[in-house]
Amino acid sequence: MNTMPDRLSDTLQALADPTRRAILARLAMGRATVAELAAPFAMSGPAISKHLKVLERAGLIERGREAQWRPCRLKAAPLREVADWLDTYRRFWEASFDRLDTYLEDLQTATREAKNVRTKNKRRTGGE
């Protein structure tokens, strides 16, 4: 993973941890202190600090500074980037009946191809 051009990987990596997703869910309800964010988890303060650092580095949160407090706030832009990327695959889960037709068609093709193979017709079957 290289640094600048791969925000998507950083975001997805940050989201891949359940603790960090839970932190985002809490921040979706409004900003919160580190202690508040830590409360639901049986883990140490530094562990929470590390999670927040990952989220901050990915641009998913920003950490404020008010006296000794470090209130955190959700930033949604990286989530949008993930959603936009996912949208390039939307046709695959929305055209589910189309996929079934294609599957059956491939099944018939595979049956015919199996016959051809038996007649010594060497062919690479991996391609579309």
Partner DNA sequence: CGGTTATTTAACTGTATGGTTATTTACAAC
Partner DNA sequence: GTTGTAAATAACCATACAGTTAAATAACCG
Q: Return residues touching DNA (CB under 7 A).
A: 13, 16-17, 19, 33-35, 42-54, 63, 65, 67-71, 117, 120, 122, 124, 126
Closest Cα to residue 49, out of 68, 33, 60?
A: 33
Hey, which residues between 2 and 61 contact a copy of itself (CB under 8 A)?
6, 8-9, 12-13, 15-18, 21, 24-25, 28-36
Q: Which does 79 bind (CB under 5 to 8 A by kind): DNA, a copy of itself, none?
A: a copy of itself
Minimum CB distance to DNA, residue 41 (Å)? 7
32: helix, strand or coil:
strand
* # residues near a copy of itself by CB under 8 A: 49
Q: What are the structure tokens assigned to 31, written together?
A: 């900003």
Q: Give the residue with the Cβ less far from DNA, 50 or 80.
A: 50
Nearest residue to 14 (alpha-carbon basis) of 78, 88, 72: 78
Q: What is the 3-state secondary structure (H, E, C) of 57-119?
A: HCCCEEECCECCECCEEECCHHHHHHHHHHHCCHHHHHCHHHHHHHHHHHHHHHHHHHHHHHC
Residues that bind a copy of itself (CB under 8 A): 1, 6, 8-9, 12-13, 15-18, 21, 24-25, 28-36, 66-67, 69-71, 74, 76-77, 79-80, 82-83, 86-90, 92-93, 99, 110, 117, 124-128
